[in-house]
Amino acid sequence: MRDRDVREAVRLDLAAHYAGDGDTRIVEEMGIWSGSVRIDIAVINGELSGFELKSDRDTLERLPVQADLYSRVFDRLVLVAGSRHADKAAAYIPEWWGITVAREDAERVILEGVRESKANPSPDPYLVAQLLWKEEAIAVLDSYGLAKGWRGKRIKLIHQRLSSELPFPTLSLEVRSALKRRTGWLRQNGSHQLDVPVNADLNPVL
């Protein structure tokens, strides 16, 4: 079972689950930490959900670091692991992460949810703000009357201002709204099917 087989199974599952809805965007290889780290698939709606994929051909060497970084940003997270890794991988992720096992059956990948995801108990407001590009961050500041004197500041300071001035639920909403509107993603979706708006009140079946 190859990496691309697991990815395709997850992509198709998410596309089918959200087809025809109105307020979600699904993005592959979404960058966090100023783009230095990328999660395999992100779902942006009423929450920011991430899906990290580990096929049987992958190693788990990077998973502890990835789990730490992603857990500071995403509202919900799901690890999709090949059956060879599933039991061992659970030891590397927080208990609030969901787990889905990817199994090969008659030349197709079957996804089996074994642990449902829960809400992130402690996201980091500054790292959530850091998801915004500078022009997006300035636009959010401006909408709350906080941009005067800040347009020429370094992006790090602008992110710090956002995270300190806005209540986290407000910041989270503004970040998700900006991500949904964004164009020109690095390594954007390979299929237009995965970039259709869908409804925010649905949760991924993974």
pTM of the model: 0.85
154 and 102 share a domain?
A: no
Q: How many domains are there within the chain?
A: 2
Burial-class residue 118 by CB neighbours within 10 Å (0-12, 13-18, 19+): middle
Over the chain, what is the mean pLDDT?
Answer: 86
Structural domain contains residue 183: no
Tell me: the pLDDT tens digits for 78-122? 999 988 888 888 899 999 999 999 998 877 899 999 999 999 999
- Helix (H), strand (E) at residue 72: none
**Averaged pLDDT for residues 126-145:** 96
**Averaged pLDDT for residues 145-166:** 96
42 and 104 share a domain?
A: yes
87 and 136 share a domain?
A: no
Structural domain contains residue 202: no
Q: Which residue range is the domain that position 69 belongs to?
A: 3-122
Per-position b or e across 36-67, b if 16+ CB within 10 A of its CB: eebbbbbbbbbbbbbbbbbbbebeeeebeebb
Confidence of residue 188 (pLDDT cuts 50, 70, 90): very low
Share of the chain above pLDDT 70, in %: 89
Beta sheet of 98-105, edge-to-edge order:
25-32, 37-44, 48-54, 76-82, 98-105, 108-115
Helices (H), 56-149: 63-70, 86-89, 125-129, 134-143
43 and 110 share a domain?
A: yes
Structural domain contains residue 191: no
Beta strands at 48-54 and 76-82: parallel, antiparallel or unpaired: parallel
39 and 141 share a domain?
A: no
115 and 137 share a domain?
A: no
111 and 73 share a domain?
A: yes
CATH number at residue 17: 3.40.1350
First to last CA, the chain: 19
Structural domain contains residue 70: yes
Q: How far is CA 4 from CA 8, 11, 205, in A?
A: 6, 10, 20
Structural domain contains residue 58: yes
